[in-house]
Amino acid sequence: MSEQLKPWVIVSSIAKDVTGQDIERIRPKIVSLVDNWQSSNKTMWSGSFNDQPSSMAIFETTDEKAKKFYQEYSDACEDVLIHHLYEWDAMPILSVLSK
């Protein structure tokens, strides 16, 4: 029996006293994580909010894979981004839209 897919959300914001150099240092790591995720035929929607210092990524996967991805994301963010992983209890929108 395979583990159930669930929608997940990572919400991030820029930590205090972060420089533009800090952001540029982590940007390639985060872009690589998202690219790797999407290149394995998985969908992830991500982007910043209007205020720019905050962003959100929405994806669908199993509990185990979500926690693994979040750990990789945390490692990439270093102390530059404050971030949290949430299970999204909303309708599994990615499953619906991918069909």
Q: Where are the domains of the chain?
A: 6-97
- Please check the confidence at residue 90 and state whether its pLDDT lies above 80: no
CB atoms within 10 A of CB 31: 11
Q: What is the pLDDT of residue 80?
A: 95
- Which CATH topology does 6-97 take? Alpha-Beta Plaits (3.30.70)
Single out the residue of 84, 34, 76, 79 nearest to residue 54, CA to CA: 84
- Please check the confidence at residue 64 and state whether its pLDDT lies above 60: yes
- Please check the confidence at residue 13 and state whether its pLDDT lies above 90: yes
CB atoms within 10 A of CB 17: 7
Rg (CA), the chain: 14
Q: What is the pLDDT of residue 93?
A: 54
Q: What is the pLDDT of residues 16-36, one digit of tens each?
A: 999 999 999 999 999 999 999
